[in-house]
Amino acid sequence: MKWLFQNVGKRAAFAFKNPRYAAGSIVRELTRSDESFIGRITSAKAQEIRGYLNEPVSTPEFAALLKDAAEEFRHLSIESADLFAKKVLLQYAAVRALAPERIVETGIANGVSSAYLLLAIQKNGKGRLHSIGLRDPAFLPVGKEPGWLVPSWLRGSWQVEIGDSRQVLPSSLSRFGTIDMFIHDSLHTYEHMLWEFEIAYPALRPGGLLLSDDALWNSAFHDFARKMQEQDARILRGVGFLRKSKA
């Protein structure tokens, strides 16, 4: 439960402003429903998923990295992902449990999610992450490259492709043939999200996972899951998780 005690001040302020959401989160915590669902779609036990959630902050080098990054973000006026949010931990746990060979993500920014995914890959002892993103000043400190916070000791399994996913995602996917996991975190418009889901889904192996950050911003994730008649699809902490059931 170490992760629960990170960013306590911010969490308390959020809970104060969003009491219904906070109450729902407490119920989900107590019933472990997020962990059960991730366990179901990765064939792992909820208890195992719970264990994975504690790993990043219990890994000294990674905990130090998060602490340094939090310090750096405090002085910057750029948009950044929450370094300790449960939503990124659930993605981390899904990678630990599924042990994928090939992950493709869109939307790199500072590289918070990339760092977590690469830590999971390192702990699994197998897998590669291909990340596609833009050099977008709205998300980056001056002079920094996309993914700058990913440390050198995690970069061995990482391939970065700079470009608009509309341009580069189709060719990357056809180069890989089959992938085990796709994670959308680029442009969160209905059209773009649906476009990425439509192009990534055929490349996923049966049993593979399609994830979408900020899936509550519009109905693209729900509409896509319904269209594909996928039953194992749920939004946890704002992240859509869908298990592909068919070939």
Ligand X SMILES: C[S@@+](CC[C@H](N)C(=O)[O-])C[C@H]1O[C@@H](n2cnc3c(N)ncnc32)[C@H](O)[C@@H]1O
| Interface with ligand X, residue 215, by CB under 6 A | no
Stretch that binds ligand X, among 4-12, 58-66, 121-129, 160-168 (CB under 6 A): 160-168
């702990």: which residue's tokens? 123
CB of 111 to ligand X, least distance (A): 6
Q: According to CB under 6 A, which one of 91, 106, 172, 212 is a site residue for ligand X?
A: 106
CB of 173 to ligand X, least distance (A): 14
Which tokens in the block code for residue 91? 């993605």
Contact 109, 133 (CB under 8 A): yes
Given the complex with ligand X, which of 136 and 230 has the nearer CB atom?
136
Q: According to CB under 6 A, which one of 3, 84, 139, 158 is a site residue for ligand X?
A: 139
Question: How many angstroms from the chain centroid is the CA of residue 89?
Answer: 8
DSSP string for 117-173: HHHHHHHHT--EEEEEE---TTTS-TTPPTTTTS-GGGGGGEEEEES-HHHHHHHHH
| Interface with ligand X, residue 185, by CB under 6 A | yes
> By beta-carbon distance, which residue lies closest to ligand X?
136
Contact 24, 51 (CB under 8 A): no
Contact 193, 185 (CB under 8 A): no
| Interface with ligand X, residue 100, by CB under 6 A | no
Stretch that binds ligand X, among 31-39, 52-60, 107-115, 238-246 (CB under 6 A): 107-115
CA–CA separation, 54 and 47 (whole Å): 12
CA–CA separation, 112 and 84 (whole Å): 9
Given the complex with ligand X, which of 44 and 117 has the nearer CB atom?
117
Phi, psi dihedral angles at 17 (to 5 degrees): -80, -25
| Interface with ligand X, residue 109, by CB under 6 A | yes
Given the complex with ligand X, which of 42 and 212 has the nearer CB atom?
212
CB of 110 to ligand X, least distance (A): 5
| Interface with ligand X, residue 186, by CB under 6 A | yes
CB of 82 to ligand X, least distance (A): 9
Stretch that binds ligand X, among 2-10, 15-23, 38-46, 106-114 (CB under 6 A): 106-114
CA–CA separation, 242 and 230 (whole Å): 7
CA distances for 54 relative to 85, 89, 132, 194, 247, angstroms: 12, 8, 27, 32, 34
| Interface with ligand X, residue 65, by CB under 6 A | no
Given the complex with ligand X, which of 107 and 127 has the nearer CB atom?
107
Binding site for ligand X (CB under 6 A): 81, 106-113, 132-134, 136, 139, 164-166, 185-187
